[in-house]
């Protein structure tokens, strides 16, 4: 019996070697992945990064614009002020300034805007259809785009990071603006 098993193994090994010879040369090894180039930040972008560190986790305060308490437009205004860019106070006024940016062109420092739908309690996709058109078109929330689909914003939970691909942000997204002039 053992001789029979050895015989089968020998035949299987010979068949594998024969077939391997018919397959040609082995494929070349895959090219090594190179890391993406490091992004060189402009001075204003560096100032935004430094300012962000002061605001992460700050509590929410309607009308606030300091790390002791901040709302969404106050956060954007304060961050940009520290980068040397003066922006108006309200979300609507901020939306009306800057250069529009397509979603696929977002980069660090752009500001993303959302409509009133993101503030509807008990939200679900079906609620978007019951908003009056004026509220669906009105921008009322914003945040600073960080890259990789993430943005930082102030909400009643405080200042934290969310993902743009979350359903609520996809449904309520109204556009983005760029306020920094970049050399790249």
pTM of the shown model = 0.73
User: What are 113-163's pLDDT values in tens digits?
Assistant: 999 777 665 555 445 556 677 667 889 999 999 999 999 999 999 999 999
- Indicate which residue of 65, 118, 140, 141 is catalytic: 141
For 109-178, the three-class secondary structure string (H helix, E strand, C coil) is: CCEEEEEHHHHCCCCCHHHHHHCCHHHHHCEEEEEEEEECCEEEEEECCEEEEEECCCHHHHHHEEEEEE
Q: What is the DSSP letter of 56?
A: T
- Indicate which residue of 65, 72, 118, 140 is catalytic: 72
Give the pLDDT confidence score for residue 121 in this predicted structure: 54
Give the pLDDT confidence score for residue 41 in this predicted structure: 75
Query: For this structure, is 65 an active site residue?
Result: no
Domain boundaries, the chain: 43-178
Write down how long the chain is. Answer: 184
Query: For this structure, is 118 an active site residue?
Result: no
Other C-beta atoms within 10 Å of 145: how many?
Answer: 22
Which tokens in the block code for residue 171?
């449904």
Query: For this structure, is 153 an active site residue?
Result: yes
User: What are 22-71's pLDDT values in tens digits?
Assistant: 444 454 454 444 444 456 778 899 999 999 999 999 999 999 999 999 99
For range 167-178, the mean pLDDT: 93
Report d(CA 13, CA 17) in Å as an integer: 6
Assess if CATH 3.90.1720.10 describes domain 43-178: yes
Give the pLDDT confidence score for residue 8 in this predicted structure: 54
Task: Report whether 142 contacts 153 (CB < 8 A).
Answer: yes
Q: How far is CA 23 from CA 10, 11, 26, 28, in A?
A: 20, 18, 8, 14
Give the pLDDT confidence score for residue 32 in this predicted structure: 45
Rg (CA), the chain: 27
């Amino acid at each position: 019996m053992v001789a029979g098993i050895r015989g089968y193994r020998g035949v299987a090994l010979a068949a594998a070697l024969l077939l391997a010879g018919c397959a040609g040369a082995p494929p070349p090894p895959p090219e090594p992945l190179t890391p993406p180039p490091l992004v060189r930040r402009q001075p204003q972008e560096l100032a935004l990064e430094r300012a962000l560190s002061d605001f992460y986790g700050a509590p929410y305060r309607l009308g606030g614009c300091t790390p002791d308490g901040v709302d969404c437009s106050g956060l954007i205004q304060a961050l940009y002020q520290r980068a040397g860019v003066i922006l108006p106070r309200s979300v609507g006024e901020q939306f009306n300034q800057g250069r529009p940016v397509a979603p696929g062109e977002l980069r660090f420092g752009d500001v993303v805007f959302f409509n009133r739908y993101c503030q509807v309690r008990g939200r679900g996709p079906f609620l978007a259809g019951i908003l009056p058109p004026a509220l669906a078109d009105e921008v009322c929330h914003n945040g600073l785009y960080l890259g990789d689909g993430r943005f930082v914003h102030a909400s009643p939970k405080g200042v934290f990071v969310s993902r743009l691909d979350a359903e609520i942000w996809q449904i309520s997204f109204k556009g983005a603006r760029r306020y920094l002039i970049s050399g790249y």
